[in-house]
Amino acid sequence: MENGKTISFLLMHKAIIKLDKKKKTMIKTMTKWKTQLKNFDAMLEEFRRKREEQELRLRFNRSALSVSDIAEQYYCEKKLEMEFVHGEIETEAKTMGSAAHEKLIEDAVEIKREALWKKIYGEEPVLAVEMFILGKCQDLFLVGKPDAVMFYKGRPIVIFEFKFSKSGIAYPSHHVQAQTYGLILENMGFDTSRLFYAIVVADPKTKGDPKLQRKAIDAIFNKGFEESILSTDDTNIHLCKFHLSEAQESLQWAIQFWKQKRAATPTTNPNKCAKCEYQTQCQNRIP
């Protein structure tokens, strides 16, 4: 009897310890997302204040670096400069690209930041579509909206970027874009140690296909998390591991331009010049 009681007591004691641990983990997780969100809101507030007080002045009077601008620098920095100097010229490709991205987010449900953070730290995986992210590097603010980020238990696990091209190729500017999103997530306090990014290059005929996102997610989860190119009939998914040091290196080069430490670097690829909307104004055009 005595033994039985002792065993029961021990079992009960273990169960209490187990419950305590679970409770502590829950409290820890809860505290973590609240603290992280508080820090994010404080950073956003600092950014707004400095912008209003005109403390942040970069080339072209910019107050923050946008990830899409950084990616464009890696396509042709001269072209980015032309856009600021001569204004953006609307092209068919740009219009179609925006429409395709609109379609991708058609089924997304808009939720408030606090609710999203709560979901990110929940037990179920969550796909955050066009989530506003903000980070700070040295004295600069970085802003972006990745096409989608899959989170699981508070960790970003895949960043998705969707591109539409028949080539199926993921270009350096695409990698830089996805890597910079990873860098910002790290800066926001997320654990990026297991983060991958997927550049989904789909045939333009798939633009507006609501199943594209689902197809990309399924392909990755079926194959597993390893660096690879997953091909379907009309899509190439370039799955790559995120490396913070690579992202930091790419960013450093981009920052030099915004801090006016060097002039814009033109592309060395004549194919880009051949289809550039600024070729008549650009003195660096490769004939």
> Would you count residue 156 as binding ligand SF4 (CB under 6 A)?
no
Provide, rounded to whole angstroms, the least separation between the CB of residue 161 and ligand SF4: 21
Q: Which helix (H) or strand (E) holds 179?
A: helix 172-187
> Would you count residue 272 as binding ligand SF4 (CB under 6 A)?
yes
Our CB check for ligand SF4 shows the closer of 70 and 142 to be 70
Mark the segment that binds ligand SF4 (CB under 6 A) among 18-26, 122-130, 245-253, 276-284.
276-284
Q: What tokens were used for 269?
A: 């690829």
E-assigned strand segments in 203-255: 228-231, 235-241
Crossing angle of the two packed helices 244-258 and 67-86, in degrees rounded to 10: 20
Within 55-84, which residues bind ligand SF4 (CB under 6 A)?
76, 78-79, 82
Within 252-271, which residues bind ligand SF4 (CB under 6 A)?
266-267
The DSSP secondary-structure symbol of 140 reads E
Provide, rounded to whole angstroms, the least separation between the CB of residue 263 and ligand SF4: 12
Size of the site for ligand SF4 (CB under 6 A): 14
Cα distance between the two ends of the chain: 95
> Would you count residue 174 as binding ligand SF4 (CB under 6 A)?
no
Tell me the C-alpha distance between 235 and 200, whole Å. Answer: 7
> Would you count residue 276 as binding ligand SF4 (CB under 6 A)?
yes
Exposed, middle or buried: residue 196 (CB in 10 Å: 0-12, 13-18, 19+)?
A: buried
Provide, rounded to whole angstroms, the least separation between the CB of residue 204 and ligand SF4: 21
- Largest CA-CA distance found in the chain, in angstroms, rounded: 96
Q: Which residues bind ligand SF4 (CB under 6 A)?
A: 76, 78-79, 82, 266-267, 272-273, 276, 278-279, 282, 284-285
